[in-house]
């Protein structure tokens, strides 16, 4: 930790404050990690979500809940690039 503080210019002996190059590198790392991590989250939930099928013995309320689930799945997970451009 002391080496990191020294490299950033945060040690007690340095009154000038953080070094601009170190802050720039740190900012680049944070931006890169944010971009990389956001790409993983786009459809991660959809991979574990699937359609539910009803049985004849299911109640009407159960069938409504299954329909709501399936419509939500279709809206959120199927062909997101087409939805982005306004196609239905």
- Structure confidence by residue, pLDDT tens digits, 40-55: 555 556 777 889 999 9
Look at residue 21 in the predicted model and tell me its pLDDT.
78
Question: Does residue 67 register a pLDDT over 90?
Answer: yes
What was the pLDDT predicted at 74? 86
Q: Which residue has the higher pLDDT, 27 or 65?
A: 65
What is the pLDDT, as a whole number, of residue 80? 53
Percent of the chain whose pLDDT exceeds 70:
58
Residues in Cβ contact with 10 at an 8 Å cutoff, skipping those fewer than 6 apart: 17, 18
Please give the Cα distance from 75 to 84 (Å, whole number): 11
């Amino acid at each position: 930790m002391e080496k990191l503080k020294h490299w950033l210019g945060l040690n007690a002996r340095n009154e000038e404050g953080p070094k601009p190059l170190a802050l720039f590198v740190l900012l680049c790392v944070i931006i890169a990690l944010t971009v990389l991590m956001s790409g993983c989250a786009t459809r991660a939930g959809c991979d574990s979500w699937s359609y539910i099928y009803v049985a004849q013995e299911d109640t009407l309320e159960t069938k409504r809940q299954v329909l709501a689930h399936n419509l939500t799945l279709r809206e959120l997970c199927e062909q997101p690039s087409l939805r982005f451009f306004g196609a239905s």
